[in-house]
Chain A
Amino acid sequence: MSGILETIKDQLEGCSDAVYQSISVHGHTCLLIYIPSIIDSKTLHESIALPLKTEAEAKLEWANFLERLDQGIVFPIQYLKAFDLQKVVDMIVAGKVVLCIEDLPYVYYFEITQYQKRSVTESQNELVVIGPQEAFIEDIETNLSLIRHKIKHPDLKTIHYSIGKYTKTDVYVVYIEGLYKKEVLEEIKQKLNEIDIDGILGISYISEYLRDGNLTPFPLFQYTERPDSVAASLMEGRIGILQDGTPTAMLAPTSFFTMLQSSEDYYQSFYAASWIRVVRFLFSIISMILPSLYVAITTFHPQIIPPNLLITIASARENIPFSALTEALIMELTFEALREAGTRIPKPVGQTVSIIGGIVIGQAAVQAGIVSAPMVIVVSITGIATYIIPHYELGLTFRLLRFPLLVMGGTMGLLGVYITAFLIYGHLANLRPLGAPYLQPVAPLVLRDWKDTLARFPSNFMTKRSNLYTDRNKRRQKEK
């Protein structure tokens, strides 16, 4: 035992928060090694220290004790043997309690890890009005429990990975047996096995590996912090990846239109949901092309504008020193700065900044004659439209792509807008993350999936799963 102890003490030198608790049982030393801040102290005292104490007081043989240890009946909780010393040290720093017995070449360990975590709260970024409100937290056990609460079926499989040399983060790949596409899971598993990195802190690290070098600005995987989204996606045949330490789950593969859906669409009546989806889709397109369309039309093609509106815009643009393109760029950049500042600002001053933003930039700039009023309207509508997109990362991409479109529209008119839009469209149609065409069901056109794209048909129409994510067991519910 002294050899084992030496090695362990050596590795943990400098970790003054490691505790070596020695208990003498039947004349031999048993040593408990653990780090108190990451274990469940209550369980330690009740289920480990107490039985040992009881054992120490009972008058029994040492060999009998060892035999009972072997049979697993000494402690009320589960304990296992470990032979690999390096693994033992890893276990101690990962929150397990190690029991070294004198003269034994192996050690026993107990899994009573308990980290500090916050409680399950409401979702902050994916709000719904009606429907479940809970969201994931950083602790993976809680997250898994939230999912298992939704799906109570033995086919829900969870594969464990431990990734990162220093972080040794627990990553779980979750899927439902019989629904997923085999090639997709194989590829994910292969990529996860290849990861050799110092540490992963956020789930985006994993997504970069799964991307396979694809340099697209569009998000290829969906992030969600709601367990009901994960459960619904799993039942569509998608595969979820959960990472310890991140309150966001990743779903793969995804498509563009999936990311424009919100879980609320399924909790409201289908009329309202369909209408809202149409509005959402319309405004997401607007958020990308409205500024460029406005600049292109007012600069190159004023004949499109109806005559009375034309006079209004022309008179508003009198005395503005900048060209329409410059004006648009100034306003857009200012709004981007405002948005970014709004995210970082400490809560006490948040209110002040929004007032300054509204009054100074909106009102005063127009009155000072730096920008024209129609331009402020256009930029504000665009800004609002960006936040209508449920998936945050897709909204970021649209914000980003607005600028090339704006520049092209301002320099080449509608031709520039068409060309850039066409190139973006071609790029999107070419994306096939994990084999699923990104723009399905629009390109390629799969009419059956349109029941759930721009409109949400009542649930008794949606009897089959989409072939985007699954190729077996298409049946969602019984057909009437």
Chain B
Amino acid sequence: MRILKIGVIVILLLNITGCWSSKVELDELTFVYGMFIDEGKEPNTVEITINSPLPNRLNAAGQPSNGGGGDGNTYSTVSKTAETIADAMLLIQKDLTRQLSLAQLKVIVLGKTFAEQGISELLLWIEREPSLPLGAFVMASPGSAKEMNTLTPIYEQIPSDVLRNFGSERYLFSTTIKDCLYAEASGVGFAINNLSFGKKEETSKDGKPEFWAGIQGAMLFQKDKMKGVLKLKEGRALAWAAGSLKLAVYSVDWDEGKSAASVVFVSTKSSKKLNKTDKGPVFTVNLKGKASVIYLRDPKNRDAEELGQIIIAKLKEKVSDNLNEAIRNTQKAGADVLQLGLLLEWNDPKQWKQLRERWDNYYAQEADIKVKTDFSIVDFGTAK
């Protein structure tokens, strides 16, 4: 009996050596580290650009080696246009000698026009693709996503690494695909980093201009459509309220500019609450922070306690203003970035049932959102 079983196993095994499409050697794969999606030149098309490292141009330590031809770049970029995302990926695959693998995707960059028309197709495609990690970051580019690809990586090997670090360092938002899917399915909005792109005049290699990228603000989405942009100041406040900001630096002054202080918030937390009142739900966003003073000019030499109170009062004013401005802008744009709709759904089902259909409208026109702050100073640095 056992011999029969072993015989069957052996026969089965003999039939399977080497002919499954999932068995691909490592050096026959191209790992896509970054995807850049734009609207195509013709209407109803998308243009996809992928960015992947070339292991044969990197030796074992990941440094560029002398082998390989081409222009000495350690990464490759391929761009194709088609009607659907799936078709575009297929066209890209046809141009490559190795099989594409999305398993190590780190960042997806959306072009502005593409974001405006709605990213639902992208989200649906991502949902169904099993190999895509949902932890990849999503960002937006001010113009076309493709040109983000041309930035020069200095510490990193490929441009996608640079962009990924913008997400993982939590400078502003660190939205991942999962957050986008979550927001879209739940009927609320989200915000992603809006990158900036420019030429670096100071250094140029062989007369060729070098490009750099940064973050210039946030792009707001409601469900799957882009609704607006925020500038950096408001974006930062909003990121704080959304809980994704790591460090924030604020400067305040008083005494008509004669005294000034700058603080860095070492701990930035936020919480959201819902109060049911007769007039409808009232949302309160509470920002908590612990500040460390990094710059202080005080000709009047007040003592620490008084200074602390002044600084906190001024900070409160400034930050609340920023956040209020940001929230007004999101309301104007109609993007429920702080996901207050979900808060209503969780805490007040009856009210939510009434408002659910017109939530976008309600948020834009009637939602009552208050801002509270709760700051404290942790230390004054190493000077008295």
Contact = CB atoms under 8 A, between A and B. Distances in A.
B13 interface: yes
A317 B31 contact: no
A314 B17 contact: no
B22 A314 contact: no
A317 B26 contact: yes
Contacts of A303: 101, 103-104, 131, 133
Contact of B27 (A320, A373, A407, A411): A320
Interface in A289-322: 298-300, 302-303, 307-308, 310-320
B29 interface: yes
Interface in B282-325: none
Interface string B91-132: 000000000010110100000000000000000000000010
Given A312-B60, A314-B55, A411-B17, A299 B104 contact: no
A323 interface: yes
Given A299-B26, A320-B27, A315 B16 contact: no
Contacts of B17: 411
Contacts of A300: 22-23
Interface string B210-231: 0000000000000000000000
B26 A307 contact: no
A30 interface: no
Interface residues of A, number: 26
A253 interface: no
A343 B231 CA distance: 74
A407 B17 CA distance: 10
B159 interface: no
A411 B31 CA distance: 22
B135 to A, nearest CB: 12
A324 B61 CA distance: 21
A413 interface: yes
Contact of B55 (A318, A373, A407): A318
Interface string A217-237: 000000000000000000000
B142 interface: no
A300 B101 CA distance: 11
A287 to B, nearest CB: 23
Contacts of A315: 55-56, 58-60
B18 to A, nearest CB: 8
B60 A411 contact: no
A412 interface: yes
A423 to B, nearest CB: 10
B29 to A, nearest CB: 7
Q: How large is the interface on B (under 10, 10 to 19, 20 to 34, 35 or more residues)?
A: 20 to 34
B240 interface: no
B334 interface: no
Interface string B1-24: 000000000000100111000111
Given A310-B104, A407-B13, A411-B13, A299 B60 contact: no
B25 A299 contact: yes
B23 A302 contact: no
Contacts of B22: 300, 413
Contacts of A324: 25-26
Contact of B58 (A311, A319, A373, A407): A311
B341 interface: no
A311 B56 CA distance: 9
Label chain B's interface by main secondary structure: loop
A471 B104 CA distance: 56
A192 B240 CA distance: 80
Contacts of A407: 13
B36 interface: no
Contacts of A323: 18, 25
Contacts of B29: 302, 314
A307 B104 contact: yes
B173 interface: no
Given A299-B25, A303-B104, A313-B26, A308 B62 contact: yes
Nearest to A320: B27
A413 to B, nearest CB: 7
B316 to A, nearest CB: 42
B26 A314 contact: yes
B162 to A, nearest CB: 14
B33 interface: yes
Contacts of A311: 53, 55, 58, 62, 157
B58 A299 contact: no
Contacts of B23: 299-300, 411, 413
B16 A411 contact: yes
A407 B16 CA distance: 11
B31 A318 contact: no
A77 to B, nearest CB: 58
B16 A412 contact: yes
Contact of B60 (A298, A302, A316, A412): A316
A319 B18 CA distance: 19
Contact of B56 (A318, A411, A412): A318
Nearest to B106: A307
B62 A312 contact: yes
A310 B31 contact: yes
Interface string B50-71: 0001011011111000000000
Interface in A35-75: none
A211 B23 CA distance: 41
A408 B104 CA distance: 25
A320 B28 CA distance: 11
Nearest to B53: A311
Contacts of A307: 31, 33, 104, 106
Nearest to A309: B62
A218 to B, nearest CB: 16
Contacts of B104: 302-303, 307, 310
B60 A373 contact: yes
Contacts of B18: 323, 411
Nearest to A407: B13
A302 B131 contact: no
A157 B107 CA distance: 74
Considering residues B22, B56, B60, which has the most beta carbons from chain A within 10 angstroms of its beta carbon?
B60
Interface in A303-353: 303, 307-308, 310-320, 323-324
Interface string A407-422: 1100111000000000
A371 to B, nearest CB: 13
B65 to A, nearest CB: 8
A316 B133 CA distance: 25
Considering residues B27, B60, B131, B133, which has the most beta carbons from chain A within 10 angstroms of its beta carbon?
B27
Nearest to B157: A311
A413 B59 CA distance: 27
Interface in A393-417: 407-408, 411-413
B198 to A, nearest CB: 28
Contacts of B157: 311
A314 B56 CA distance: 8
Given A307-B106, A311-B62, A412-B16, A302 B26 contact: yes
11 contacts: A298-B25, A299-B23, A302-B103, A303-B104, A311-B58, A311-B62, A312-B61, A314-B26, A314-B55, A315-B56, A408-B13
Q: What are the 3 A-B residue pairs with the smallest beta carbon separation, nearest first?
A: A303-B103, A315-B55, A314-B55
Given A299-B24, A303-B131, A311-B53, 13 more contacts: A300-B22, A303-B104, A303-B133, A310-B31, A311-B157, A314-B55, A315-B60, A316-B60, A317-B25, A411-B13, A411-B16, A411-B18, A411-B23
